[in-house]
Amino acid sequence: PRKTDIRDANFPMDAEGRTYHLGTKRGEVANRILSVGSEKRALVLAEYLQPPAPGRGLFMLESSRGFLTITGRYLGTPVSIVVTHMGLANADFVVRENRAVVDGEMAFIRLGTCGALRPPARLGSFIVADPGAILIRRDPDAFSPEGEACGLPPYRFSRPIPSDPLLSQALQQEAARRLGAENVCSGLNATADSFYSSQGRRTDWFDDRNEALLGELLQAYPQAITLEMETAMLLDLARCSRGSIRAAAGVIALADRQSNDFLAADRIEELERLTGQACLAALARTQLQDSWGPHNGSGP
Ligand code: R1P
Ligand code: URA
C-alpha cells in the first residue's frame, strides 16, 4: 500500500493521518478555525495572517476535493482559515475532519454571506447568528404521491440551535469596532438546504411549492433575519461535540429578499476584509483549553 492509500472505512484517513476530503493532518491545523465560503475570501483574509513560526511562510494545503486550509497567526495566536464551499454537507466535512486532527478545545467562526429577510438586517450589514440558527429542509416525501395524499408539508423548520454566547458577543464587538455599530446587529439565522427552493426563490423549471415559505418562516420565527446555507450545521455539530467545540457565525447581507437588491462586488470584498479581521480577532482573543497545537512547536 502507498502512504496516500486510505484506510478505515469508518473514518477514512491515509497512512500519514490525513483526512479523506480536507487532506490535513495533526499539526497543520490550529484550534481556532475561520470557516469561509470561497477560496477568494480565504486568500484575501490570509493577507492578514503572520507565518506560524518565524522565517516560515503560511501553511497552505488544498485537497483534491478543493478544500483549502491556510494556517498562520493573528495577534500572535495560531489560526486556520478553511474554505468550506457551500451547503450542509461541506460544513459537516469541515467541522468533523478538522475536529479529527486537532486536540483540545476548538473554536469555529463562520464568515459568510446571506440574504436579509427583514430589519435590522439590511443590504451591507453584518449580522451575528445570536441566539443561533434554525434549519429549513425540503422534504422529498411531500412531493411523492403518498406524501401528497396525506398533505405532508414540503418544508420543515427545526427548533433554534444555539451559538456560543461569548464568542458571538466577541464577534459582534470586534465587527462593530471596524464597521460602526450601526452596521452590525445580531439575530436568528435561518439555514436552508438549498439556495433556491428552501430559501423561497421561485423558478419555472421545478415544482417547489415554496410561494408561502418565507411568510411561514417569519410567522413561525418572527426573529429570523438572515437566510444562508451552513450556520445551523456548524452550530448543531458544536452542540453535539461533547463540549469540545465553541461556534459562532456572522454573515454579510448581500441580497435583500424584500427589495431584490444585490450588493456590488467591490463593496462585498471591502466588507469581507473588515469582518474577516473581526472574526480573526474574536478567535485570537478567545481563551481555549488548547495546550497542544501548531503554536507550541508541533505545527507545520
Ligand atoms: C450561496 O451563494 C452561498 O453564500 C452563502 C451561503 O451560505 C452559501 O454558501 O455563504 P458563503 O458566502 O459563505 O458561501
Ligand atoms: N447566500 C444565500 O444562501 N442566500 C442569499 O440570498 C444570499 C447569499
Statement: residue 21 has pLDDT above 80:
yes
Q: How far is the CA of 251 from the centre of ligand 2 (A)?
A: 10
Query: Among the atoms of ligand 2, which is closest to the Cα of residue 254?
Result: 7
4 inside domain: no
261 inside domain: yes
Domain that holds residue 26: 21-287
16 inside domain: no
**What percent of the chain is predicted at pLDDT more than 70?**
96
297 inside domain: no
* pLDDT tens digits, one per residue of 207-254: 999 999 999 999 999 999 999 999 999 999 999 999 999 999 999 999
252 inside domain: yes
Query: Among the atoms of ligand 1, which is closest to the Cα of residue 110?
Result: 13
- Residues whose beta carbon lies within 6 Å of some atom of ligand 1: 37-38, 86, 112-113, 195, 228-230
The count of structural domains within the chain is: 1
What is the model's pLDDT at position 142?
98
Beta strands in the chain (DSSP E): 6-7, 13-14, 32-36, 59-62, 68-74, 77-83, 106-116, 126-138, 155-157, 161-162, 184-192, 224-228, 245-256
Statement: residue 298 has pLDDT above 80:
no
177 inside domain: yes
Among 142, 137, 94, which Cα is nearest to 238's? Answer: 94
What is the model's pLDDT at position 291?
58
* Interface TM-score (ipTM) > 0.95: yes
295 inside domain: no
Find the CATH number of the domain harbouring 62. 3.40.50.1580
**What percent of the chain is predicted at pLDDT more than 90?**
92
94 inside domain: yes
